[in-house]
């Protein structure tokens, strides 16, 4: 499975705070943002750098520099917005798109209501943001929307993933790499990730 999980003591520490039902909105939002930044660093391991020549205070040298114009972040609304500031701190000049989806509480299927991306999105590597990969439905729909626009390289960043969602995503889009802080145990009957951290959107925006 094309999944990269951040196995690190500090990530587990941060997740323990996120999972705690007593963690307040401010701290929850800050940690979602912070883990998003860590995930972005990991997702950029294969980034290609352009060679540039610079002057240090001592010498002239050749070094690598990222062409930030080749990237776009696309958060899935609304919870994906919680990760945006973190990843933007890593690649400040990346363009931003938005995909709006909500979950039908009876069918548990995603309903699309908004899609707006940069005009030249097909020329960029796109990194999708969504804290929770549960059933995989929203991720699959978002990827299909982007591929319909001609996007060739897509990565998916999430905080928590469920095995069922990962399996479904791999079946539909085996070319998409998933970066997550932790793969949890299972989905309950209401399609929430267990042990999870509750509804990420509600906890990010204080609407729980």
Q: What residues are annotated to the active site? A: 103, 107, 199, 202
As given in the structure block, the two tokens for residue 173 are 């889009």
Asked if 183 and 166 count as a contact pair (C-beta separation under 8 A), the reply is yes
> For 108-183, where are the alpha helices, taking DSSP H only?
137-148, 163-172
As given in the structure block, the two tokens for residue 109 are 């299927």
Angle between helices 163-172 and 137-148 (to 10 degrees): 20
Helix H or strand E encompassing 75: strand 71-77
> For the chain, where are the alpha helices, taking DSSP H only?
9-19, 25-43, 81-88, 137-148, 163-172, 200-205
Query: 118: burial class by Cβ within 10 Å (0-12, 13-18, 19+)?
Result: middle
At residue 161, the 3 state secondary structure works out as strand
């Amino acid at each position: 499975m094309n999944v990269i999980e951040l196995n690190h003591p500090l990530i587990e520490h941060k997740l323990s705070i996120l999972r705690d039902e007593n963690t307040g909105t401010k701290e929850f939002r800050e940690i979602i943002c912070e883990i998003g930044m860590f995930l972005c660093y990991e997702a950029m391991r294969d980034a290609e750098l352009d060679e540039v020549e610079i002057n240090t205070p001592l010498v002239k040298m050749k070094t690598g520099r990222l062409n930030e114009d080749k990237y776009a972040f696309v958060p899935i609304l609304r919870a994906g917005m919680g990760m945006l500031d973190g990843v933007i701190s890593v690649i400040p000049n990346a363009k931003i798109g938005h995909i709006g989806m909500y979950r039908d509480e009876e069918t548990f299927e995603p309903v699309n209501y908004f899609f707006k991306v940069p005009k030249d999105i097909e020329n960029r590597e796109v990194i999708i943001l969504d804290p929770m990969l549960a059933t995989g439905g929203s991720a699959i729909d978002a990827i299909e929307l982007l591929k319909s626009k001609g996007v060739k390289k897509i990565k998916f960043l999430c905080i928590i993933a469920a095995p069922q969602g990962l399996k479904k995503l791999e079946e539909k889009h085996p070319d998409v790499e998933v970066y997550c802080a932790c793969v949890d145990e299972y989905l309950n009957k209401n399609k929430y990730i267990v042990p999870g951290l509750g509804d990420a959107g509600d906890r990010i925006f204080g609407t729980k």
